[in-house]
Structure 1
Amino acid sequence: MVTEVLMARSALFENYDEDLKQLFGSLKDKLDGEAKSLTGEQRKAALKRVSEEIDEAEEIVAQMEVELPSMPVSIRQTYQGRLAASKQSLDKIKKTLKDLRLQSQRSDLLSGPGYPHGDDPYTDDPEPYSTRSRLLAGTQTLEDSTTRLDNAHRIALETEGVGSEILRNLRGQRDQLENTRDTASRHLSIKNALPLTAYSLSKRTLQLIEQRVHSRR
């Protein structure tokens, strides 16, 4: 019974692998054929069909990954290698699709209004350069914006530095005022204590005089 289950899983994996190979063949034909030869909306439609088949291939790969852990250990490594190879093939197909989409977008840009001659830089007609001029102007605007941001950042840093210096000066002045206040307080305490000291000395002197007078009697 166990052997039958394992054989069934192996057969299921083989079916997935066969379906995947057929999809890869179909994708290769589309990418090498209509996706490159067609233009405009027809190319976009062809690329959309390629994208849909890639989604289908990814679903099959996901099912193969689910089945792999249940494979017998004796043959699992072989299936792992086949699955890894299928993933690499799928990644290459996805990269090709991405490159073709970028080419399609570039073609749409260069063939749009203001660029009737495509990307031919040697035409005598000045109109094709209107789009290029707009692109250059946009680039210059971005550079100017970047420069303004850099200047604003620099000014902010300088302002922060000036603010820090002012705070340090204020702290120094505060410390000086506190020291002056403490010194004045000490002087005031000494001054207030002097009359009391003089009074104490005078009282003591009178006592000594009285003692001498009494002793002479």
Structure 2
Amino acid sequence: MDGVSELYSDYEHDFTALTVALQAKLRDLSSGTVVGDQWKTVLRAAERELDEADELLASMDNELHALAPPTRAKLQPEFRKYKAELDRLHKEFKKLSSSPSAREALLGPAGAPAKFDNATAAMDQRARLLQGTDRLQQTGDRLTSAHRIALETEQTGIETLQELRRQREQLERARHTLHNVDSNVDRAGQTLRTMARRLATNKLITAAIVLMLVFLIIMVLVLKFR
């Protein structure tokens, strides 16, 4: 969609992929395909993914408010769907985590002493560390992407200002040229008016000379035949 920031698109892509994985885990938990320690591991992984989905949705919300109003208005219905879907997943997780299957997986069968599997705990801790490292890496990548976008935006702004400056200089040169043309037209008009006045004066002088010659010829003829 036009106008959507690259950062928002990244958040949206990560959120969609995460919810798909989370739905698969919840289906496994509710279908009974995983049991015992594996059930507990999947439940904790689902809990971590829910936390990460909450963070992604909050980041999407922050980025959404930074977009232009027309773009934000187009994205808000889809964002509300994401929020409703995450709320549904939270409710499903809460229901599963409070079920008898969850209590049996976490505490052991009723009436039996609780067992603590050191290997499972170590694997779970390692998974948490890896998950945290991945999230830090993703956050760093997003910050790098945001910084790059900011630099590109700044460069685009500089280029736009330079182009506007060039256009302004061109307009000023064009205005100066038009001013010179206008001045030349005024001078040409004045020259033409002066020439017209001189031409009229010459015509009057010529007419006066002709009349004078005619008068002199008439006088000579009169004196000759008297």
The TM tier, using the shorter chain, reads 0.3 to 0.5
**What TM-score do you get using the length of structure 2 for normalisation?**
0.43
